[in-house]
Structure 1
């Protein structure tokens, strides 16, 4: 596992520098992130609204132009006046045909004059390829059925953009082809295209970005017109990967759809151009970040000079402690807080000298206590050895009762003098059984003792030597001849319940009060409540408020002592 010293700089100077840089950069980065998100959203919405607004205006202009072409074509179709004149022209005699010819030419010129968006117009007879009543020059061998179709609606075909059929024009135009449906001629069409440079002027209305490339996509999803043939060649499918898989990379696309005819006007803007304002803001923010970082480093250096140098002097004074007298004083640093530290340090140095002297005297006293402890340890060993000697003498002389009594007493002493602070309940019950065997010999009267505990509870851990004082209290205070003591161990939630019940003479209210009060005077009754006081202090020391000792007693009824402890499984501290 990597130590913390490797992760955190050990030097105060380095830590101070890092903290100041972080303190300087964190707010800046946080504000920058929030500002970036906000400004990016603002700039994006601004650019998008501008592009969409201009694109919408272009779409409205194109729709208006195509509607005007459609209106003009209605006048030239059979349901219009000029169309009806054409139908009569085809059926008329030579003289009448001459009159109708001039009338139709004049009507077409009048329609073109009243409709400024209208350019070349003529009738086309598909079966013979014949062209009639053209108002401008027209290329030879034209076939209007091969024009790029923008969308179709019933007998009407909207075309373009495509090159004008007027050889003297040569610009991109939109056009409409409409079936005239004459009575005797079925494949007659009227062709009308937009006027000189109208398509280019409409597309150039979008000034949202200087390098916006306009695309016109027909209702089949194929590009009919492109201002950037390299990236979006005409004839390719819009949004497909034909030709180059990266053709559409690096552009933002905005679309306007003609709801009536289902074709699209698309504005394609390079990402570099679209994000130019954002890059400008990022550049300014980067300069601000560098300046803030430089200021943070400068402040770190100033603080280092103000804090690190005084600490360095203080460290030098501390290293001189083993070699200087307590009366020596540190140098003044001319900083109030560090001068206070130096004054406190000098007081501490004097106190350390006093503590060292006290420690020396304490060590001497400790050595004397160790000698006394060894003397006290000799006595239990001597007592064990003496009891063993008595037991073997009784066994050799056939004194079985004395042999058993001494052996039991030796076990009690060995258990009670053990150093462990805790023991399993089974060990406590065994020690209690030995204790009761000795007491039965001492008191010379018959009594019964009953143990109630499940096998799994015998492994619970409790403080050592607490069952014996509870049972001893029943023996010493009121147990009658043929009395009965019940020791019950049970579980209540997360607590172990130890209950010692007797049917003795019980206690008066005054006796019970003294027994419950650990500070009560017990001089008049030797040993009265001493064991219970021991139990109370032991469980309070190990468990605090989690342990509870309760005593209930009435005269001529008996006494119940209940001890509640947290359940602890396994052997702990029984060394």
Structure 2
């Protein structure tokens, strides 16, 4: 396939590129549409789940309030006296007292419409009329007059045939808790009559899509409340919906009246009721219609632009290439004087210009080759001269060795120990300096410094005191040659020599964190504040430039710092601390080099 693509005409390749771009744009549009659809549906499901959770929490909170109020009323002294009394007159008295108490319990919860007290003989007390159907349902379902039956439960909904409204209740057995010989005997039942209107207000306060339906089902799968008029209170839902609501799956699909819905359900604790949401799936994707239309318009626009610019690119690319091919086929290699003529101002125009320049360079190089041949003999002579100079440079150090040995011999002859010591130290330094290797052992570098300090001690006598503090393990390590001696020389000539008092120089060497450190500390005249700041700035910038004024003591340090950074990187080099008239410390940081 790649071979056939390479052999394809450029015009066809451009057309293929346009078609692939259009196809890619279409696929990308489809992908983003379905990706956004999935995201919106997922968020809608999560939002509906949150709404159901909030609704369940509100209903459970309301139920808890009812239970607490019922429990308080059940333990009320007059409630228990009413239920336990056998005398009609006393019951009437207690009933009148309770008539002044129960309204507070009713008003404390909007769902409570009535409170009914029933003793074990079936005598009832209530401030308002109550639906007999509710009481009949409770008597059958919960065996009110069975002393062994302890009931704390919410009932299913029951229709009041008189008002054509639905109620449900909370039933709690009442036990004697006053002082008595038989405490904790069941003496009756407290029934709280609850209205479904409060539940209706819960559902109507929910905000989802326009067609979203919310239902509350009791334990018998009858509708307790709904925000949609098509679901009537008290009606039993379809078997299919019951099966989906009771399934372990949190979400399922449900078709109702020809409309596909996303169904979710949650259970209300203690009542075993269900809260159900049904979201029409087409409403979830309604918001994507503008996106889909916009995407199709963009694809069509991209198609038109691709065709237009494809035609333009085909004309502006293939025509200049055809012209170039014809020129290359026409040009004669033995007469490279022809040149391309074009009015193009784009890259092809630049290409034509560079081809003409290349042809001009070919003519120029032809003449240069001829001239080069004539000067080849002169180049060979220059090479021989350079080789001769290299041999002479190798002879000069031997001459210096011989001269120093001669001076040393004279010193021995005249018993001049200072001359012998100086020439021997200088000879060692010279031999070390011209040593071919750039990497040496630390002990070799320290030996060079000791030779140098030997010369200084001979010259200045006891004017300077030197102290060495070198960790023995580092002497067998490797380092770059000729780093320490220039720093020591700088400390003596620019720090200690101008000082009138006795000078002190300390050389410390140690290894830390796989790095070599050398500290050269003197108690000389230090560096003036302004020059010190300039020196520190130049060290940080790695610039070996002269400092302002006539004092050039920093140039050598800058050169050493640049050399170290050039060889080992910016993490290594010199760091200086100096106080005027007190002294200077130079810290040298080096890597540990391998053999």
TM class, shorter-length: 0.3 to 0.5
Structure scoring higher RCO (CA < 8 A, sep ≥ 6) equals: 1
TM-score when scaled to structure 1?
0.44
TM-score when scaled to structure 2?
0.43
Larger radius of gyration: 1
